[in-house]
Amino acid sequence: MPWQLQSNLRGPSAMRLGRLRTPLSSSSNNVWSPVFSVSIEAQACLSFQAWLYFTAAAPGTGLVVSLSGPTGGAAVIVTMLTGESATNLRTLSATSYDTPLIGTGSGGSNLTLLSQVSGTVENGLSGGTLELRFRSEVNGSAVNLARGSWWQVLQH
């Protein structure tokens, strides 16, 4: 993963922060690319937040995100507040894994927009990996996550 994890933090040891050191790009509207992942134990509870700075190849191309995780999650909530232009925002939410949250526009390559993705997971009986993924809304039109995007995860 191209994330730089911070280990010299003060405060709860259950909190982890990460920062994107190199840009990520996806031009596919059906293949997911990982943004970040973290291990989650059986019956653990995690909250997360990601600030994804992005551009797209064309104004009509939006950012799409999805959360995947171990089977049998007891409760999953994920929301995305995303820019779709310099003046428009969209709020989306899901209550299960693998539900695409689809932003339907962007400012094109000359405008960096912010997508705030957050959520809480109460895991079931199976441990595994929790992963935030992204893709393009439009096949063949790139969505780019900028260096400096960041995330935090807190285990309760």
| Domains of the chain, residue spans | 32-155
In the CATH hierarchy, which top-level class contains the domain 32-155? Answer: mainly beta
Give residue-wise pLDDT tens across range 85-141. 989 999 999 999 999 999 998 988 889 999 999 999 999 899 999 999 999 999 999
Encoded amino acid at 10, one letter:
R
Distance (Å, whole) CA 34 – CA 36: 6
Residue percentage of the chain with pLDDT more than 90 = 74
Task: Identify the band that residue 73 occupies on the pLDDT scale cut at 50, 70 and 90.
Answer: confident
Residue percentage of the chain with pLDDT more than 70 = 92
Count, residues in the chain: 156
Mean local confidence (pLDDT), 44-73: 94
By the 8 A CB rule, do 61 and 99 touch? no
Write the CB contacts of 107 (distance below 8 Å, at least 6 apart in sequence): 55, 56, 59, 83, 85, 86, 113
User: Rg of the Cα trace of the chain?
Assistant: 15
Task: Identify the band that residue 3 occupies on the pLDDT scale cut at 50, 70 and 90.
Answer: low
Specify the pLDDT at position 11. Answer: 55
Task: Identify the band that residue 6 occupies on the pLDDT scale cut at 50, 70 and 90.
Answer: low
